[in-house]
Amino acid sequence: MNVGTRKILNRSFTAVGIGSIVVMGIALLIVIVPIIYNGVGAVFFTGTIEHRNMLYNEFGEGDEAELAKQNAAAGVYRKEVYAMLAGFEAELEAMESERQQEFRSKYGSVRNALTALMGPLPGDTGAMLTRFKYGQTRWEKAEEKLHEFLYEAKWDYSDPDAMAKEYYVSRAAEFEGTSLVKIFPYVEKHLEEIMRPEFTIYLGFLTDSSVDSHIFGGIWPEIQGTFFLAIGAMLFAFPLGVIAAVYFTEYAREGLFTSMLRSANSTLAGVPSIVFGLFGLAFFINTLGVSESKSVLAGSLTLAIMILPTIIRAAEEAILSVPRTYKEASLSLGSTKWNTIMTVILPAALPGIITGGVISLGRAAGETAPIIFTAAVSVGSAIGLADVFSSPTPALSWNIYNLASEHEAAAEIRHVQYGMVLALVGIVLLLNLSAILLRARISKKLKG
């Protein structure tokens, strides 16, 4: 190969390298930016008076006097709306029956759209479910509902040979010639006065329990459950993993048996997590009976088995990277093997061991499959420390999946889902960051 071709090859390799880094960066941006943007929207958003009422009634948060003042101010405009409704209802009663029939169902959908926007109207029976007790709590949702109130979505089925297209009909036009026609421009014009949007910082999203299966409220039970599961897994896996690594590096004799153990460990690291989930159900719950039903304990044990191989590998590498001279110096001073391991080798290997541990902790926090059958529930309250042996818990990873697919009102509460995603990413990031800091601190100390 002459120098020219080598140069070209070299350059093109550099270009491919830079290119792949750029692609990775863009991919990261595409993934991370929407997560952060939408996730932050769960805490920082433009909230309406319905949000403040909900907070006051469900959690007792907020200033009562201030809220009463705001409600009174909004009430002035709401009363106008109610009066228009009452006026039309009287008019409806007076109509001849054929026209009345025609308007009654149309009026029903107007009332429904208005209820969705601003909460229960006078004459409604009080709702049992919290989701029907309030109107839209977020301004952008309120604007969406306003559109639904002003325009009816219809489908054009005129061509039977093609799929229909959606089009919108102004409701005002449908009520032409009745007194209700005034209500549409009125609500459109005074939406701000009726809903009183205000920039809101809802930190309670992180610390409150959910209300009415995540329609309102926060995600505290999920955050807590995630911590319990991850820390529980660590309590089992970390000591076991370090002990196993010490055995592999210091005690085990190289031979068929050890190499088999090693390759078994590597294989275990590559087993899909759903297999661990099913194993956990079959072994910990059905065979050992560590708990009667799904529980944090069973979930932690399952996660522990899943992260164990990674911890063993990381600890092994860390121990092997301790210079031989440390060990030899210690032994030559007459120290026993056990003493050498405890006082010389393990402290020197600690930064590496901890890094491996915390990365596994992050993985345990984020895994869904192992906890589906062993620990996770879709709705539940935060559990106390005393309940971890018997109670299952909601957890971020599983609830994100649940909200994305199974929840009956999934499209209405995307912000909660994004909030959970950001919280989970945040937790994992925080754990990794603390690993880096801890490692730096210990290394510095070791160097003296």
Binding site for another protein (CB under 8 A): 127-130, 132, 153, 155, 157, 159-166, 211-213, 224, 227-228, 231, 285-286, 292-294, 372-373, 376-387, 390-394, 402, 405-408, 410-411, 434, 437-438, 441-442, 445
**Structure token digits, residue 345:** 């080798």
Our CB check for another protein shows the closer of 280 and 309 to be 280
State the nearest-atom distance from the C-beta of 27 to another protein, in Å.
24
Give the C-alpha distances (Å, rounded to integers) separating 444 from 343, 437, 438, 441.
Answer: 18, 11, 10, 5
Our CB check for another protein shows the closer of 126 and 323 to be 126
The answer to whether residues 403 and 410 touch, using CB atoms and an 8 Å cutoff, is yes
State the nearest-atom distance from the C-beta of 194 to another protein, in Å.
23
255 phi, psi to nearest 5 deg: 180, -175
**Single-letter code of the amino acid located at 247:** Y
State the nearest-atom distance from the C-beta of 438 to another protein, in Å.
7
State the nearest-atom distance from the C-beta of 376 to another protein, in Å.
7
Kindly calculate the radius of gyration of the chain based on its CA atoms and give it in whole angstroms.
31
DSSP string covering 61-75, please? -S-HHHHHHHHHHHH
Our CB check for another protein shows the closer of 289 and 323 to be 289
Which residue carries 């194993």 as its tokens? 279
Residues written for the chain:
448
Our CB check for another protein shows the closer of 148 and 250 to be 148
State the nearest-atom distance from the C-beta of 349 to another protein, in Å.
16
Burial 396-414 (b: 16+ CB within 10 A, else e): bbbbbbbbeeebeeeebbe
Which residue carries 């541990």 as its tokens? 357
Our CB check for another protein shows the closer of 246 and 377 to be 377
DSSP string covering 207-259, please? HSPEETTTTEE--HHHHHHHHHHHHHHHHHHHHHHHHHHHIIIIIPPSSHHHH
Our CB check for another protein shows the closer of 45 and 284 to be 284
Our CB check for another protein shows the closer of 49 and 376 to be 376
- Burial of residue 286, with CB atoms counted within 10 A of its CB: 0-12 exposed, 13-18 middle, 19 or more buried: exposed
State the nearest-atom distance from the C-beta of 190 to another protein, in Å.
26
The answer to whether residues 110 and 171 touch, using CB atoms and an 8 Å cutoff, is yes
State the nearest-atom distance from the C-beta of 29 to another protein, in Å.
26
